Amino acid sequence: MDRIHIFDTTLRDGEQVPGCQLNTIEKIEVAEALQDLGVDILEAGFPISSPGDFQSVVEISKAVREPVICALTRAVDKDIEVAAEALKYARLKRIHTGIGASDQHILHKFNSTRDKILEKAAHAAKYARNFVDDVEFYCEDAGRADNAFLARLVETVIANGATVVNIPDTTGYCLPDEFGSKIQYLFDHVSNIDKAIISVHCHNDLGMATANTLAGVSHGARQVEVTINGIGERAGNTSLEEVVMALKSRQPEFKLQNRINTRKIYPVSRLVSRLMRMPVQPNKAIVGRNAFAHSSGIHQDGVIKQRENYEIIDPQDVGIKESSIVLTARSGRAALKFNLEKLGIHFTKEELDEVYERFLTMADAKKDLDEYDLLELAGQQVERRPTHVESLAVSCGSNGAEAEVSVNIDGTNFKAKETGVGPVDATFKAIDSIMNKGIRLEEYLVQSVHGGTDDVGKVHIQVSKNGIIYYGFGSDKDVIFATAKAYIDALVKVI
């Protein structure tokens, strides 16, 4: 079967995003996770852009030995020399050089002409081949480029040694048919195209990155350039998880193989989100918190009868333990029965009818129901002790922080004082020493409501225990106090 190469650029195009910068140690952690995931090519950075990026490419080259390590350059000799130097320790190495291909870029970015661009491109591809055998050439803004000129450019760089040619839709402008036809045009008009792999690199400005990438693949591209969670410039890049799962779910149509261990997708997605401080939108395909959550009665009933009724992907295939049947006032009896049985509680049909009536009243009054609520509905003695943050005092500075917290549980105040690397860490540790729930913090997100330095901060928290996720929310003018409230809100749901 034909093979598709997965080129990951999370650490280059993804890491360019403001706020997503990683230090070298964090980059190595992500690179190792991408290696375990099975990516073929790992774009590690743009070495000439900063000494830090140079060093990261050096260290990733030493630490990660399976995938090809790729370094980005402009079509500039010095860039290429520096990239080659950064890749010195890589077992398998690739230089990714290139130049603008659209008239927009040629005229208004390079102040140049098509002929001069062809000359520069030929030189860059040839020059890079002096340092490595594997040279990828990007035709920047190919999405808006004239196809006839693009074909000349592709032919020229292949003739000068490029082994892979990247056709980026840099501005996310193309429609899927149009992008697919562009790739087809190249296959029909570039005489030496069989000497190189054609790669597609799409941006998501119109929300079409995945569709365009797949259209490119349908017309012969055999490398896809992607990032975890679709992070990247502006609206992002094509997301790895979407393309890989589309190729897998529609295998009979694509008939293409890749090396990705899809069961590692979710853990890598969480890692990237956490280290890059970039939350994943809840309804994000494949890895969003709601991607396998069913909340309406009709869907819940269907999915309980047979998962495939409403799921085209088995969550375990992407590393998610199981789908969730979320209990809300829209849920039906089947969902209630399903969740009760997971707690080991079984009812006859008549009993369930009666519990369901009480469930609806409770669900109307509360937004989401937790396991304590279910046990209470089932008439079991559950001790839900009202808990809230009574007071919090934090002192912090560049040498760390200390938090003194008082948590009121059922009318009694429990106090703890802990130190941490910062105020949040110290506050979590102080609360943990009182609540002692043995959880893992999965996500911590702070948002302002209206803007301004005196605004109210909203804090969303996700913690997990035994594979189950619990959510907490808190808001306050003091974000650390909001953090403590959100943390307690999540912890009280953990049985």
Residue ranges that bind ligand KIV, judged by CB under 6 A? 13, 138, 140, 166, 168, 170, 201, 203
Nearer to ligand KIV, 201 or 219 (CB): 201
Q: Which does 15 bind (CB under 5 to 8 A by kind): ligand KIV, Zn ion, none?
A: none
Closest contact distance (angstroms) between CB of 140 and Zn ion is 8
The radius of gyration of the chain's CA atoms, rounded to the nearest angstrom, is: 26
Q: Which does 138 bind (CB under 5 to 8 A by kind): ligand KIV, Zn ion, none?
A: ligand KIV
Nearer to Zn ion, 13 or 40 (CB): 13
Q: Which residues ranging from 348 to 387 are in contact with Zn ion (CB under 5 A)?
A: none
Closest contact distance (angstroms) between CB of 166 and ligand KIV is 6
| 297 HSE (CA, 13 A, CB side) | 9
Closest contact distance (angstroms) between CB of 99 and ligand KIV is 10
Closest contact distance (angstroms) between CB of 170 and Zn ion is 6
The one segment of 10-18, 64-72, 204-212, 289-297 that binds Zn ion by CB under 5 A: 10-18
Nearer to ligand KIV, 136 or 242 (CB): 136
Q: Which does 61 bind (CB under 5 to 8 A by kind): Zn ion, ligand KIV, none?
A: none
Nearer to ligand KIV, 34 or 335 (CB): 34
Q: Is 141 in the site for Zn ion (CB under 5 A)?
A: no
Task: Tell me which of 5, 10, 11, 13 binds Zn ion, using CB under 5 A.
Answer: 13
Nearer to ligand KIV, 18 or 397 (CB): 18
The C-alpha atoms of residue 128 and residue 328 are separated, in whole angstroms, by 59
CA dihedral 328, 333, 334, 337 (to 10 degrees): 90
Nearer to ligand KIV, 72 or 334 (CB): 72
Q: Which does 140 bind (CB under 5 to 8 A by kind): ligand KIV, Zn ion, none?
A: ligand KIV
Q: Is 205 in the site for Zn ion (CB under 5 A)?
A: no
Nearer to Zn ion, 13 or 79 (CB): 13
Closest contact distance (angstroms) between CB of 291 and Zn ion is 25
The C-alpha atoms of residue 139 and residue 472 are separated, in whole angstroms, by 46
Residue number of the CB atom closest to Zn ion? 13
Q: Is 140 in the site for Zn ion (CB under 5 A)?
A: no
Nearer to ligand KIV, 45 or 319 (CB): 45
Q: Which does 166 bind (CB under 5 to 8 A by kind): Zn ion, ligand KIV, none?
A: ligand KIV
Closest contact distance (angstroms) between CB of 205 and ligand KIV is 11
Nearer to Zn ion, 94 or 429 (CB): 94
The C-alpha atoms of residue 308 and residue 203 are separated, in whole angstroms, by 31
Give the number of residues in contact with Zn ion, rule: CB under 5 A. Answer: 1
Q: Which does 127 bind (CB under 5 to 8 A by kind): Zn ion, ligand KIV, none?
A: none
Nearer to ligand KIV, 96 or 152 (CB): 96
Quick check: 128 and 95 in contact, CB under 8 A? yes
Closest contact distance (angstroms) between CB of 286 and ligand KIV is 22
Cross-strand bridge partners of residue 225: 7, 201
Closest contact distance (angstroms) between CB of 140 and ligand KIV is 4
Closest contact distance (angstroms) between CB of 92 and Zn ion is 22
Which residues lie near Zn ion (CB under 5 A)?
13
